[in-house]
Amino acid sequence: MYDKIKEMLEERKQELETLLTRVETSARRKLDKDFEEQAIQRQNEEVLTSLDNSLNDELDQIEEALYRIEQGMYGKCVNCGNEISEKRLLAVPHTSLCIECAA
């Protein structure tokens, strides 16, 4: 039943890992010698750090969802234990909460 969702999660995981590699590569660039350019680069670093954190959070959620699928626990709310609707799982496949608990 969850084969399509598992495939979606694995595809998104690959996308995130690729994006994280690019973000980390960009973040490792050396600063320019020009002070004004350094200021811009530092602002960009803040954006990259925020993006990196966001991507890592989503990746963690996806890995947890894949684990729950493998363990047969996927589709149940980790908060209340109720079933998560298929519509919600298709919309947000890495969710661990039913719509009521997520609100």
Looking at residue 88, its amino acid is: R
Task: Give burial (CB, 10 Å; 0-12/13-18/19+) of 40.
Answer: exposed
Q: Each residue of 17-48: pLDDT tens digit?
A: 998 888 777 666 665 566 665 556 566 667 77
Q: Is residue 81 part of a domain?
A: no
Q: Enter the pTM of the model.
A: 0.76
Q: Domains in the chain: how many in total?
A: 1
In a domain, 12, yes or no: yes
100 in a structural domain: no
Give the domain range for residue 39.
Answer: 3-74
58-71 pLDDT, tens digit per residue, is 999 999 999 999 99
Tally of CA atoms within 13 A in the half-sphere of 29 that contains its CB:
16
In a domain, 14, yes or no: yes
Asked, for residue 98, whether it belongs to a domain, the answer is no
